[in-house]
Structure 1
Amino acid sequence: MRKLFSTEVEAFGLRGRIWTAHYGPAHSRVTPSQLRAGPAYVLLHGIGVSHRYLARLHAVLDASGPTYSLDLPGFGGTPKPERRLSVADYGAFIAAVLKSRGIDSYYLVGHSMGVQFSIETALHAPDAVLGLVLMGPVVDSRHKNVGRQSLALAIDGLFHESPSSNWIVLTDYLRCGIRWYLTELPVMMAYPTMERVAHLQVPVLVLRGDRDPVAGSDWSLRLSRAAAEGRLSEIPGCGHVVQHLRPKAVADAIKSFVSPVTQA
Structure 2
Amino acid sequence: MRAKVETVRIGGLAVRLHTAAPAGRVRADLAPTVVLVHGIGMSHRSFGRSQRALAATHRTVSVDLPGFGGVPGAGRALSAAELADLVVAAVRSRGADDLVVVGQSLGTQIAVEAARRHADAVGSVVLVSPVVASDRRSLLLQALDLARDSLVEGPRMNAVLTTDYLRSVRQYVRELAPMLRYRMEDTITEVRQPVLVVRGSLDPIARHGWSAGIAAAAPVGAFVELAGAHHVQERQPVAFARLLGEFRRAQAREGLR
Same fold (TM over 0.5): yes
Structure 1 residue runs of 5 or longer lacking an equivalent are none
Partner of 2:238: 248
The one-letter amino acid paired with 1:92 is D
**Residue type at the aligned position of 1:119:** V
Q: Indicate the RMSD between aligned Cα atoms, in angstroms.
A: 1.3
**Equivalent position of 2:108 in the other structure:** 115
The answer for the alignment partner of 2:97 in structure 1 is 104
- Within 5 Å, give how 1:217-228 maps onto structure 2: 217-228=208-219
How far is 1:24 from its partner? 7.2
Over the matched positions of the two proteins, sequence identity in percent amounts to 38
Instruction: Name the aligned partner's letter for residue 246 of structure 1.
Output: Q
Tell me the distance in 2 between the aligned counterparts of 1:234 and 1:39: 24
1:260 aligns with 2:250: yes
Q: Deviations over 1:48-74 (max 9, x none)?
A: 000001011101111111111010111
Counterpart code for 2:29: L
| Paired residue secondary structure (1:249) | helix
Q: Secondary structure at the match of 1:259?
A: helix
Q: What's the secondary structure of 1:131's corresponding residue? A: strand
CA distance in structure 1 between the aligned counterparts of 2:252 and 2:37, rounded to whole angstroms: 21
Structure 1 CA distance for aligned equivalents of residues 236 and 155 of structure 2: 14
Paired residue for 1:167?
159
Aligned residue in 2 for 1:92: 85
SS in 2 for 1:182: helix
Contact 2:99 2:124 (8 Å CA) reproduced = yes
Please give the alpha-carbon distance, in whole angstroms, between the structure 1 residues aligned to 2:126 and 2:81: 18
Aligned to 2:229: 239
Contact 2:75 2:171 in 1 (8 A): no
Other structure's SS at 1:75 match: coil
Q: TM-score, normalised by structure 1?
A: 0.92
* Map of 1:7 onto structure 2: 6
Q: Which amino acid aligns with 1:247?
A: P
Structure-to-structure mapping, 1:86-235, within 5 angstroms: 86-158=79-151, 160-177=152-169, 179-235=170-226
Contact 1:95/1:124 (8 A) holds in 2: no
